[in-house]
Amino acid sequence: MAENVLVVNAGSSSVKFQLFGIEAHDRLDLRVKGQVEGIGAHPRLLAKDRQGNLLIDHAWPAADVPSVAAALEAAIPFLREQVGGKLPVAVGHRVVHGGPDYREPTLITDAVLSRLELLAPLAPLHQPNNLAPIRTIRHRHPDIPQIACFDTAFHRSHPEVADRFAIPEELHSEGVRRYGFHGISYEYIAGRLPELAPEIAAKRVVVAHLGSGASMCALLSGRSVESTMGFTALDGLPMGTRPGQLDPGVVLYLLTEKGMSASSVQSLLYNDCGLKGLSGISSDVRDLLASPHPRAKFALEYFTYRISLFTGMLAAAMGGIDGIVFTAGIGENAPAVREGVLARLSWLGAEVDLMANAKGGPRISQPRSRLKCYVIPTDEELMIARHTVQALA
């Protein structure tokens, strides 16, 4: 039996995982894809093989799987069964924030783990959950190498002018700067462009990673030169429950005039804003598309407006734009959102092919369109697996 590598992508209420076999010449073969969802509420383990056949569908009482660490513990027996009890040669993890120091996939040590824990206040919804499975595996199997792959790393190619805030130098030296996120996804898309969109692969491309968390990235010849997210994953586009770009004076107002505590403001900005706050209905675009309520319609209009607005900003960073790529859950699966964005980008020469858009692409612009428009599914877990194998080598 071939060696295996496990990829873990842990969120606040779910742990996604993929198990890859390492074949000849380090080719990766997907064997199992699954997740433990509903952690602490309705925990459920679902997994399929590479053909999409269901391997397991098992639920637990909420008290049995109360945390991300417990979810991984619950999934381990199933994963070991899939590979005949053989342990993976390594585990790769998505870690949202790498701070100013981590620019590439990194072997986890006690010192590295301690430094990553210090970044938790910059990504409170993500960082603690990203690190919880690392601790669990280090406790159970300390000899298995674990590799951290950072959402911020791909953006370290930015010019300094793109990553600075207009603040005193001492704050910048402490790490208060723009970082950018979703870098693992953008790196994967950059690698797929030569195959799926060769006409724009070496040119000026905006990639829109649209999901519950959303951001956009300017790719110049496959390298990130600008991003909509900044110091934290609150900035930029409106998201499912996060506001995106916000005047910092709003935070001051909430603290001083509304008498809110810092923790209350944090909870508001991470959990009650964005599409959820605008619509008063749901953070899920599928619910908003299906709703006849005017606030649902407005939330979607606001979402597409801000995407088009940031497209112009990113185009300015590159001195122009040749193509746009939609990816992630909304970007890949919501034709109405893509159509709404591209209608606002007609001034850039975007002419959508409605039939191709309805089918999901990959190319969704008409042949005469000056702006070449694509839908390319992302695969962060495969990117993490590749980095993990390379790090071992």
The catalytic residue among 151, 163, 235, 379 is 151
**Token pair recorded at residue 381:** 């877990």
154, two tokens = 């791909």
- C-beta atoms surrounding 189 within 10 Å: 27
DSSP state of 234: T
Q: Give residue for tokens 């790490």.
A: 175
CA gap 116, 377 in Å, rounded: 29
Burial of residue 57 (number of CB atoms within 10 Å: 0-12, 13-18, 19+): exposed
Q: Judge whether 151 counts as a catalytic residue.
A: yes
Question: What separation in angstroms does the CA of 81 have from each of 2, 55, 153, 186?
Answer: 15, 11, 34, 33
**d(Cα 68, Cα 163) in Å, to the nearest integer?**
32
Cβ neighbours of residue 287 closer than 8 Å, sequence gap 6 or more: 281, 296
The torsion defined by the Cα of 98, 184, 319 and 351, in degrees rounded to 10, comes to -150
Active-site residue list:
151
